[in-house]
C-alpha cells in the first residue's frame, strides 16, 4: 500500500498525506491509493487491495501502474 501511495504522492503530494500513513495498515493504505487514483486522477481501479496483498500476478500490477 505504501508504494502505490508513494507514486501518487510523488506526482501529486496534495492528494496523499503520505507521512501520516501507517505502514502496518497495508489494506487501508492500498484502498486509499486506489480510491484517490480513481476519484482524483481518473484511473479506473483494476485491482482489489486484498488480491494484491495475496499475490496478484506481476503483469496485472505493472498494467495498473
pLDDT digits (tens, 9 = 90+) for 7-27: 999 999 999 999 999 999 999
pLDDT of 49 reads 83
pTM confidence score: 0.83
Query: What's residue 35's pLDDT?
Result: 95
Choice between 14 and 49, residue whose per-residue pLDDT is larger = 14
- In Å, what is the CA distance from 30 to each residue of 5, 9, 18, 33, 58? 7, 13, 12, 5, 16
Average pLDDT over residues 34-61: 87
What pLDDT score does 60 carry?
78
Q: Please answer whether residues 25 and 53 qualify as being in contact, where contact means their C-beta atoms are separated by less than 8 angstroms.
A: no
pLDDT at 64 > cutoff 80: no
Amino acid at each position: 500500500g505504501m508504494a502505490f501511495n508513494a507514486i501518487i504522492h510523488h506526482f501529486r503530494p496534495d492528494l496523499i498525506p503520505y507521512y501520516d500513513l501507517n505502514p502496518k495498515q497495508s489494506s487501508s493504505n492500498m484502498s486509499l491509493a486506489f480510491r484517490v487514483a480513481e476519484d482524483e486522477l481518473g484511473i479506473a481501479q483494476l485491482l482489489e487491495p486484498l488480491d494484491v496483498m495475496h499475490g496478484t500476478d506481476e503483469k496485472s500490477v505493472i498494467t495498473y501502474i
